[in-house]
């Protein structure tokens, strides 16, 4: 009887240890170039990025125009974030804002388009 109880306890421990295996990391880091000029641009770009479900972190740097992202790849993609940013008037390296969205930017935010 004692051996049976010990056996059941060992089985339970083995099963619970296997169930607690670490899940695959779903979060990924990306750096995206986003055109902009100022603090207003920074707020707008980061707000647009965070509007996409699955964005964990978004920080845009004025000096190098890089947006540092951490996203849950099961919920969104980098392309989803780039589209949201283009919709508020800022170009990324492969998705450009429409002229209409660009022209809605404040005059200090009008960066030189390539």
- Mean pLDDT of all residues belonging to the chain: 89
Domain total for the chain? 1
For residue 99, what are the domain limits?
27-109
Contacts of 84 (CB under 8 A, 6+ apart): 48, 49, 51, 52
Q: What is the CATH number of the domain that holds 41?
A: 3.30.70.100
Length of the chain in terms of residues written: 114
Q: Does 6 map to a domain?
A: no
List the structure tokens of 102: 């660009």
Q: Does 74 map to a domain?
A: yes
User: Is the pTM of the predicted complex or chain greater than 0.85?
Assistant: no
List the structure tokens of 60: 């845009």
Alpha-carbon dihedral of residues 107, 112, 52, 83, nearest 10 degrees?
Answer: 120
Reported as a single tens digit per residue, the pLDDT across 16-60 is 655 554 555 689 999 999 999 999 999 999 999 999 999 999 999
* pLDDT of the residue at 50: 98
Reported as a single tens digit per residue, the pLDDT across 63-74 is 999 999 999 999
Q: How many angstroms separate the CA atoms of 87 and 73, rounded?
A: 21
CB 67 within 8 A of CB 51: no
* pLDDT of the residue at 96: 97
């Amino acid at each position: 009887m004692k051996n049976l109880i010990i056996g059941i306890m060992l089985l339970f421990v083995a099963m619970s240890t296997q169930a607690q295996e670490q899940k695959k990391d779903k979060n990924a880091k990306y750096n995206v170039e986003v055109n902009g000029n100022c603090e207003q641009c920074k707020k707008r770009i980061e707000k647009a990025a965070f509007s996409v479900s699955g964005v964990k972190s978004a920080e845009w740097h004025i000096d190098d125009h890089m947006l540092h992202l951490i996203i849950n790849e099961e919920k969104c993609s980098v392309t989803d974030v780039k589209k949201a940013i283009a919709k508020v008037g800022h170009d990324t390296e492969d998705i450009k804002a429409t002229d209409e969205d660009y022209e809605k930017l404040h005059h200090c935010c009008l960066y030189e388009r390539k």
